[in-house]
Chains A and B, each alone.
Chain A
Amino acid sequence: MPKIKKKRIGFKIDMTPMVDVAMLLLTFFMMTTQFRPAEETQIDLPASHAPFKMPETDVMIVTVNKEGRVFLGVDAQKLRAQLFGEANKLRPAVEVDRKQLHDLLIQARISNPKLRTLVKGDKNAPFGPVEDILDILRQVKITRFNLVTEMDKS
């Protein structure tokens, strides 16, 4: 029998430092992570220099996607069940028309007077639906609300 041409030498690499770093990173990410909230539609936020952070609790979000469809969502599951029915409890937002939006905004404000209103429009959304929403907000006497934007890098 011919000899084996090249004998492989068994080798070991000490992976300990790498694993240490990986564990550190893992702990870091586990501590700092905040899960992206579920969304009914994909929204591309417009950019602005506005300084306020988005509030996270007690909010209702009126979303306008790029086709101009309007969705309403609230953060509390209980309120969601109350507004949109038990079946829609787990959905982050429900599509509404102008009339429904008007009534639901009033109902939501009655159920939780602390609710803050956020308007979240897609960058490419037409202005028409947004104008309608502003009009509805004026009708239901929500005079203070926030427009959600992304931090402008420039």
Chain B
Amino acid sequence: MAALDSGEQKSHGHGEKKHKKKHRIGFRIDMTPMVDVAFLLLTFFMLTTYFSKPQTMELNLPPDEKSQVEVAESNLMTLRVAADGVIFWCIGTEAAHRVELKELRKFLEDKNKENPKLITLLKVDREGKYSMMIKLMDEIAIAKVTRFSLAPMNEFDKRQIQKARAS
């Protein structure tokens, strides 16, 4: 099928000229095996290749826990993520409120416009999902909130969440 033809076979009969050159004999090469191999390789490369290189999110942690920064309570917004992925927010030690992930971006932008000195604290439950942390950090980055930090969730936070759920 895939064959190379010299195409000179037909002109065999009346191709005789006076000066007798060395006459080429028509030849065919069966290319089928080569093409087979080429297709095999093609499938192989198509299957093993991958284009999308993973992205990374850069994170800077403060050097050690002892370097405490004093913040006014009214400038501190805590975002808590419960084990089931529900997000609660509160400012200072006020009662916590629920916020949906979809509204979070707008919410963060608004809050930061209201108070440019706002510092965001993100607390994720140990039983929660890692993807929640990524999603929230992504939202925080998109909302261009630069002052934010991560903190472990303690018993007090869990109680706050429970209270917010009850109300």
Contact = CB atoms under 8 A, between A and B. Distances in A.
B134 A48 contact: yes
B57 interface: yes
A112 B95 CA distance: 48
Given A12-B1, A138-B65, A124 B129 contact: yes
Interface of A (DSSP majority class):
mixed
Given A25-B42, A146-B59, A126 B126 contact: yes
Contacts of B38: 19, 22-23, 26
Interface of B: 1-2, 31, 35, 38-39, 41-42, 45-46, 48-65, 124-135, 137-138, 141-142, 150, 152
Interface of A: 12-13, 15-16, 19, 22-23, 25-26, 29-30, 32-36, 45-55, 64, 118, 121-128, 130-131, 134-135, 137-138, 141, 143-152
B56 A50 contact: yes
Given A29-B42, A33-B45, A35-B48, A64 B130 contact: yes
A138 B131 contact: no
**What DSSP secondary structure best describes chain B's contact surface?**
mixed
Given A19-B31, A48-B134, A149-B138, 7 more contacts: A22-B39, A33-B48, A48-B55, A52-B57, A118-B56, A121-B134, A137-B61
A122 B61 contact: no
Contacts of A45: 54
Contact of B142 (A25, A49, A52, A124): A49
Contact of B127 (A33, A36, A54, A128): A128
A151 B58 CA distance: 14
